[in-house]
Amino acid sequence: MSIFINKDTKLVVQGITGRDGSFHTKQMIEYGTQVVAGVTPGKGGQTFEGTVPVFNTVYDAVDKTGANTAVIYVPPMGAADAIMEAVDAGCALVVCITEGVPVLDMTRVYPFVKERGARLLGPNCPGLISPGESKVGIIPGRICAPGPVGVVSRSGTLTYEIVYQLTRAGIGQTSCVGIGGDPINGTNFIDCLEAFEKDPHTKAVAMMGEIGGTDEQEAADFVKHHMTKPVVGFIAGQTAPPGRRMGHAGAIISGSAGTAAEKIEAFKAAGMGVAQRPIDFVDLIKAGLK
């Protein structure tokens, strides 16, 4: 099984005719994702690759094709409106790949999405993949394999690294989710951990965090009180000096709350396995699966 997406996912791509949108749409189609529609205002009536109809609005795309999931490849200034348009059209899951979405825009988007009962993944995320079922976003399908491990990460490149190491060791995945590293995002660690806990095919979880904020500590508390499956954690930025921004807008140490040491201690207190390097996930996950 999987979380959030599967073989029944019907995807509409917002920004399908742009450079990034067109490239990754081809990749998703080749992987087997049901890409049923695309949206580019002013280009309604065209087709993408001769098979995917393009519409002017997400509402028309959902109405005509039954799309239930949207992925967004539009510039930062238009991303917030694109998210709200997809939710308003009835998409239950919206995945925003776009990086650089203004935080002020997200303060409007977040409550809008929650009030309508939809799920937002991102922004500034690589999306997600359920190996052998569906891929929404930019995670390379060739490094994934079906199996019993759920993967969730704030970092896109760390997602790829851990998935590659697991697959190379013969350990497949149920779903791999990149939640993004912006200060305000739609889906957090706890949302994913809860979904993996409920998924009968997920037997262990690999979680990659980073310095800054308290999301990892809150996730550790959830693991301690609500998870029955083994969870292995890793914190990126362990050598970062205090106050230094490390790539993501949310990765800023404030006092002691966001340090790697504080997060690792929270993992240990929750009974989680702690990886010092990405390659350590292999042995720790194997031990958890026994």
Q: What is the pLDDT of residues 10-40, one digit of tens each?
A: 999 999 999 999 999 999 999 999 999 999 9
| Calpha distance 185→96 (Å, rounded) | 10
At the second CATH level, the architecture of 10-121 is 3-Layer(aba) Sandwich (3.40)
Confidence bin at 257 (pLDDT 50/70/90): low
Q: What is the pLDDT of residues 165-201, one digit of tens each?
A: 999 999 999 999 999 989 899 999 999 999 999 999 9
Residues carrying CATH 3.40.50.720, the chain: 10-121
All residues at 6 or more sequence positions from 212 whose CB lies less than 8 Å from its CB, including other chains: 237, 246, 248, 250, 251, 252, 253, 254, 258
- What confidence score (pLDDT) does residue 16 get? 98
Residue 157 has pLDDT above 90, yes or no: no
pTM listed for this prediction:
0.94
| Calpha distance 265→277 (Å, rounded) | 16
Q: What is the pLDDT of residues 73-102, one digit of tens each?
A: 999 999 999 999 999 999 999 999 999 999
At 253, the amino acid letter reads: I
Closest-CA residue to 71 (of 121, 2, 3): 121
- What confidence score (pLDDT) does residue 220 get? 97
Q: Give the strand pairing for 34-39 and 119-121.
A: unpaired
Q: Give the strand pairing for 146-153 and 134-137.
A: unpaired
- What confidence score (pLDDT) does residue 237 get? 78
| 122 CB burial (10 A radius; 0-12, 13-18, 19+) | buried
- What confidence score (pLDDT) does residue 242 get? 66
- What confidence score (pLDDT) does residue 213 get? 81
State the average pLDDT over residues 42-64.
97
**Residues acting as catalytic residues:** 248
State the average pLDDT over residues 97-108.
96
Residues carrying CATH 3.40.50.261, the chain: 139-289
- What confidence score (pLDDT) does residue 238 get? 77
State the average pLDDT over residues 228-247.
79
Confidence bin at 253 (pLDDT 50/70/90): very low
- When the pLDDT of each residue in the chain is averaged and rounded to a whole number, the result is 93
- What confidence score (pLDDT) does residue 158 get? 86
pLDDT above 70 covers a percentage of the chain that reads 94
Q: What is 139-289's CATH topology?
A: Rossmann fold (3.40.50)
- What confidence score (pLDDT) does residue 45 get? 97
